[in-house]
Chains A and B, each alone.
Chain A
Amino acid sequence: MPDAEQLMTSLGTVVVAAPAVLVAVLGLPALLGTRLTEATTMRAVRSAVATGLLACIAVLAVMPFAAGRPAVVDLGEWVALRPAGAGHEHYHFAVEFEFDLLSVALALLSFLLCGTIGVFAARYLHRETGFNRFFILFALFLFGMVTASLADTIETLFVGWEFVGLSSALLVAFFHERPAPPRNGLRVWIVYRISDAALLLGAVVLHDMVGEGDFDRIMGGAQWPHGRTTLTESQSTALGLLLLFAAAGKSALVPFSGWLPRAMEGPTPSSAVFYGALSVHLGAFLLLRMNPLIAASVWLAVAIIAMGLITALYASLVVTVQTDIKSALSFASLAQVGLIVAEIGIGHWLPVMWYVALLHLIGHACLRTLQFIRAPTLLQDYRVLENAIGDRLPLPPGVLRFAPTSARTWLYRFALERGYLDAILTDYVARPFVRAFEWCGRLERRWAESLNNENTGSSTDSQTTRDDLKP
């Protein structure tokens, strides 16, 4: 009988390889200009997801026999540089995947929900012109999720994080014959890029502090969530705040919440699995993975709780006035994500809350996926019922009805404007940025014209307000 750890390593390799193979199988024909049939695409998706899922379940089954140590699948050093001379630091990029309770749970969830949504999308997008494009992006997303979930180094996590971000933004822009989806896709991408920058900076700061990006160095070699970091409190706070910023962008926490309803422009299957279930929880997962930092820094814990609670409160308020089902579900989802983040922060005092947060995350992701894919038929059912009774279905009173009269109007406006978050980012960040650099552009054109001794008046051609960054 093979050794339990060896078996876990072999199974782990299958888990990681399955989505990568799917990307190659669906992506290479597209690059070569060949179009796979819907049946072939679905066969590939089903095989890859089933293989990954079964291997993941097998890892979970073998875990209790692995002497309490997490299995590490080491695919070697992707890049390793050593300067001449002894005593110098070296740079390496290790591709390592760790299978512990947290990572296996999220990987399992990713395979399960992606499998479900894959089958759903095959019918939902049947004969859609972008069928193959959807599943290529779907494969990239699955690859990114599994890579990020199982990453044993922050660099590997960053790779997965980037793939999730790109595929999500391109899926928001999936229906590209209308201007609204690409415009919203760009918004999502901008927020993701900013959060990616914070994660990259966090990865480098971690490298700087502990010499490498292995999570083991933060966890102290212990099983999740019992790790204890060797970093000082101030180091933990600084690094933790960078990662909290990254998590806020990815999980749409306040002040980045504006992108979540915009992401609903994508097809329903992608809204369900990405923004309702998996992608939106990736920030919370990052915080769970970095729980030793939270344990070491009370200020970080307080910041996380504050951000989580503010987000939950904001989303609970805004959801009450949403008039389309996908936006309502997205804000309901955000309220739960806020609570999950707050639970993670409370883990500083009550470590059991990290288990609670993980269970909350898994349960919420499953429930929300179901709600999203049920949404189109639910609307149809409502219509049938309303036709049968000849009137609108009665609606339960919203929480704002119980607000004091003096504040009610303001609260309604706040909720209808979605907390003005988008407007604030547009008016005070995006627009000044665009105007400042357009002004520089005009100045440069004028300067070039004077140096060229020409007078074409082209410097005025960019004076009109840009609209692609507008909401």
Chain B
Amino acid sequence: MNLFAIRWLELSFVLPLAGAACMTLFTDARRKSRWCLTFAGATLACTAIVSLAYYSGHPTAAALWNTSGRRVLNVDEINAPLLPLVALLFFLTALTTARTKFARFPCAGQLIRETVLLAAFACTLPGPLVALLAIDAFMPLLELRRRGQPLRLQVIHAAFFVLLMFAGWVVSSGMGFSRFGSLFYLAGIMVRTGVFPAHIGVTNMFVHTSFGTALLFATPLAGVYATARLVLPIAPAWALSLLGIVALATALYAACMGAVERDVRRYFAYLIVSHASLVLVGFGLHTPFAVTGALIMWASAALALTGLGLTLRSLESRFGSLKLDEFRGLYDQSPALAICFLMTGLATIGFPGTPGFVAVELLVDEAVGAHVAVGLFVVLTAAINGIGVVRAYLLLFTGRRHVTGVALGITPRESIAVWAMTALILFGGLMPYAYVESRHRSALNILRDRDTNLNTSVVTPEHQPH
């Protein structure tokens, strides 16, 4: 039997949906937890096979819905490693959710979001992609409403994003003014990614929603995917340069804000904004190596930030809301979490031996090539983010001895997540060759599409990248 003959991509979307339907049948938190994990794990396995099918030369098995010669959902060089990554983020989030919290964990909602996000990351056509990202943007609002948290800012944030993206789609695909439409896309993506001043939506999300929901909203960096699919191939060079400048200023600002922040959740939100903006800086430079660096940083930051976020979430589930205003001394209580925090934190900033190292090197290299000042700002951003990570580690885990009579050590489920994360970071850091090659090919494909589109006098929807 040919393993790749099975429609794994379709299964990747159907499984979490089926899981969401099943969740309505259970009331017992333990059973809910077990089944949610089963469905999330099965989805992860399916996406891994989809990716494997692509890299082993069975791309047709990974394509879905060919309509009028165009593939709505397709696996290509750009998203082949991203689909299992997204599924992994959802699986690890479900895995590290404490059993006591599972009664409140929105299992069905998260599984539906997984379908939506997987579909968005598999989507290559502008219209459906915009629609899927719009659904994804509005889904966390349901939780905010359920928890009785203030909604207005988040509604404004999501509405701006959706309106700008739909405007971009109408102008570029409907009216045929693709370059003009790309500016709307660009503005929408800047809102979604949290480029200044829209970063306030990201920090607000972390403050008011549950950590898991906010984490899954922010860490896959869906806005970056939209940039790679919708903006890079058609946007004029000056618009990309503008994106680069604004994103660079945001990256530095968010790094500085994170370095002095006293609330753990807000600190983490700034770290995400800073890294998402650094990825956009790479796109803004739009040279092959800069885009390669941005693509590498995207996946490595998504993985590392998720690891860091899950560690913080585990700490919150033990110690309640955490502040970075005094030493907590939690190392002796949870040494494994301390190691995981440090490791994922260092991976976030691109420390040598982690996958992000090559990304930072490439980005700085290309930034200096563009202008020394740009290079200096990128280096400063990376340095300040590094200071922020170690500061947070020292404040949370050292400085005093935390005394408690309750066992607060790592649980077996968390251990699995920590080991998986550590293995991926070390493997990706020490043997990055295949992954870097894949990202480089993606960058070249994106830029080739861009060359084709910009050299065509009238860009019709058919010229949009598939």
| B288 touches A (CB below 8 Å) | yes
Complex contacts, A81 vs chain B, CB 8 Å: 288-289, 292, 436-437, 440
Distance, CA A375 to CA B203, complexed state (A): 51
A46 on interface, CB distance cutoff 8 Å? no
Chain A positions within 8 Å of B146 at CB level: none
Does any Cβ of B come within 8 Å of A425's Cβ? no
Q: Is B204 an interface residue (CB 8 A)?
A: yes
Judging by beta carbons under 8 Å apart, are A454 and B150 in contact? yes
Given A159-B352, A189-B390, verify A433-B256 contact (CB < 8 Å): yes
Check if A152 is an interface residue, CB within 8 A of chain B. Answer: no
User: In the bound complex, do residue A201 and residue B364 qualify as a contact, i.e. CB atoms below 8 Å apart?
Assistant: yes
Q: Determine the distance from Cα of A91 to Cα of B360 in the docked complex, in whole angstroms.
A: 13
Q: Is B175 an interface residue (CB 8 A)?
A: no
Shortest A212–chain B CB gap in Å is: 11
Given contacts A204-B375, A468-B391, contact A447 B200 (CB under 8 A): yes
Residue A208 at the chain B interface, CB threshold 8 Å: yes
Q: Indicate if the CB atoms of A448 and B433 lie closer than 8 Å.
A: no
- Min CB gap A191→B, angstroms: 10
Determine whether A68 belongs to the interface, using a CB cutoff of 8 Å to chain B.
no
B329 near A91 with CB under 8 A, answer no
Cβ contacts under 8 Å, A444 to chain B: 200, 203, 257
Interface string of B355-384 (1 = CB under 8 A from A): 000101110110011001001100110111
Interface residues on A, range: 35 or more
Please pick, from A31, A158, A163, A179, the residue contacting B339 in the complex, using a CB distance under 8 A.
Answer: A31
Tell me the residues in window 444-459 of chain A with beta carbons closer than 8 Å to chain B beta carbons: 444, 447-448, 451-454
- Asked if A173 is at the interface (CB within 8 A of a chain B CB), the reply is yes
Inter-subunit contact B150/A200 (CB<8 Å): no
Tell me how far the C-beta of A322 lies from the nearest C-beta in chain B, rounded to whole angstroms. 26
Question: If the complex has contacts A179-B399, A182-B399, are A193 and B364 also in contact, measured as CB distance less than 8 A?
Answer: no
A79 and B358: CB pair below 8 A? Answer: yes
How long is the Cα–Cα vector from A93 to B362 in the complex, in angstroms?
A: 10
25 examples of A-B residue contacts, CB within 8 angstroms: A33-B336, A83-B289, A83-B444, A93-B358, A158-B352, A159-B353, A166-B351, A178-B400, A179-B399, A182-B395, A182-B398, A186-B394, A193-B387, A196-B383, A201-B368, A205-B372, A208-B365, A434-B260, A437-B256, A440-B257, A441-B261, A448-B200, A452-B152, A466-B260, A468-B327
Do A437 and B444 touch (CB < 8 A)? no
Residue from the list B327, B365, B394 in contact with A91, Cβ < 8 A? B365
Knowing that A166-B351, A200-B379 are A-B contacts, what are 14 other residue pairs whose CB atoms are under 8 Å apart, sorted by A's residue number? A79-B358, A79-B436, A81-B436, A169-B390, A176-B331, A177-B329, A178-B400, A182-B395, A190-B387, A196-B383, A201-B364, A207-B365, A440-B257, A448-B207
Taking the complex as formed, is B325 at the interface, i.e. its CB lies under 8 A from any CB of chain A? yes
B415 lies within 8 A of chain A by Cβ: yes
Check if A30 is an interface residue, CB within 8 A of chain B. Answer: yes
Task: Verify A182–B261 contact, CB threshold 8 A.
Answer: no
Chain B residues with CB under 8 Å of A79's CB are 358, 432-433, 436
Name A60-88 residues within 8 Å CB distance of B. Answer: 78-79, 81, 83-84, 88
A197 contacts the other chain (CB 8 A): yes
Q: Which chain B residues lie closer than 8 Å to A437 at the CB level?
A: 256-257, 259-260
Judge if A387 is at the interface, Cβ distance under 8 Å: no
Whether B262 sits at the interface, judged by CB under 8 Å, is yes
Tell me, yes or no, whether B300 is within 8 Å of chain A by CB.
Answer: no
B453 interface residue per 8 A CB criterion: no
Per the 8 Å Cβ criterion, residues 159-202 of A in contact with B are 159, 162-163, 166, 169, 173, 176-179, 181-183, 185-186, 189-190, 193-194, 196-197, 200-201
Bound complex: CA of A208 vs CA of B435, how far in Å? 25
Within 8 A of A (CB), among B319-340: 325, 327, 329, 331-332, 336, 339
**Does B156 lie at the interface of the complex (its beta carbon under 8 Å from any beta carbon of A)?**
yes
Cβ of A169: which chain B residues have Cβ within 8 Å of it? Answer: 390
Give the residue among B329, B358, B399, B401 with the most A Cβ atoms within 10 A. Answer: B399
Cβ of B368 and Cβ of A205 under 8 Å apart?
yes
Residues on A with C-beta less than 8 A from B18 are: none
- Contacts of B444 on A, CB cut-off 8 Å? 83-84
Across the interface, which residues of A come within 8 angstroms of B391, CB to CB?
186, 468
Contact A197 B204 (CB under 8 A): no
**A193 with B383: CB separation less than 8 A:** yes
Say if the beta carbon of B422 comes within 8 Å of chain A.
yes
Residues on A with C-beta less than 8 A from B260 are 433-434, 437-438, 441, 466
**Given contacts A176-B397, A177-B401, A200-B364, are A166 and B346 in contact (CB under 8 A)?**
yes
Residue with the greatest number of chain B CB neighbours at <10 A, chosen from A162, A176, A454: A176
B259 closest partner in A (C-beta): A437
Interface residues of A in 16-34 (CB under 8 A from B): 30-33
Q: Is the CB of A208 within 8 A of B379?
A: no
Within 8 A of B (CB), among A317-355: none
Assembled-state Cα–Cα distance A441/B259 (Å)? 11
B5 at the A/B interface (Cβ < 8 Å)?
A: no
Residue of B nearest to A461 (CB): B262
Residues of A within 8 A of B203 (CB): 444, 448
The answer on a CB contact under 8 Å between B257 and A448 is no
List of B residues within 8 angstroms of A93 by Cβ: 358, 361
Asked if residues B364 and A208 are in contact (CB atoms below 8 Å), the reply is: no
Closest Cβ–Cβ distance, residue A260 to chain B (whole Å): 19
Do A178 and B399 touch across chains, with their CB atoms under 8 A apart?
Answer: yes
* Interface status of B419 (Cβ within 8 A of chain A): yes
A185 to B401, CA, bound (A): 17
Q: Which residue of A lies closest to B207 (CB)?
A: A448
Contacts of A462 in B (CB 8 A): 262
Query: Is A98 at the interface (CB under 8 A from chain B)?
Result: no
Q: Is the CB of B386 within 8 A of A193?
A: yes
- Chain A residue with Cβ nearest B199: A444
A214 part of interface (Cβ distance < 8 Å): no
Collect the chain A residues with CB atoms within 8 Å of residue B150's CB: 452-454
B339 near A30 (CB under 8 angstroms)? yes
B-side contacts of A438, CB under 8 Å = 260
Q: How far, in Å, is B396 (CB) from chain A's closest CB?
A: 10
Report chain A residues within 8 Å CB of B237.
none
In the A-B complex, the 6 residue pairs with the closest CB atoms: A176-B398, A452-B150, A197-B383, A182-B394, A159-B352, A182-B398
- B-chain residues with CB within 8 Å of residue A84 when the two chains form the complex: 444
Does B408 reach chain A (CB closer than 8 Å)? no
Q: Report Cα–Cα, A269/B402, bound state, in Å.
A: 27
Q: Complex formed: what's the CA distance from A91 to B437 in Å?
A: 12
**Nearest chain B CB to A27 CB, angstrom units:** 10
- Digitize A10-53: 1 where CB-to-B-CB distance is under 8 Å, 0 elsewhere: 00000000000000000000111100000000000000000000
Name the contact of A179 in the complex, choosing from B368, B400, B440 (C-beta under 8 A): B400
Write the chain B residue with the least CB distance to A436: B256
Residue B153 is within 8 A (CB to CB) of chain A in the complex: yes
Q: Shortest beta-carbon distance, A205 to chain B, in Å?
A: 7
Asked if B289 contacts A155 (CB within 8 A), the reply is no
The CA of A404 and the CA of B398, in the complex, are separated in Å by: 47
Q: Nearest-CB distance from A16 to chain B (Å)?
A: 14
Cα A436 to Cα B93 in complex, Å, equals 35
Q: With A33-B415, A176-B398, A208-B368 as given contacts, are A451 and B351 in contact (CB-CB < 8 Å)?
A: no
Nearest-Cβ distance from residue B149 to partner chain A, whole angstroms? 9
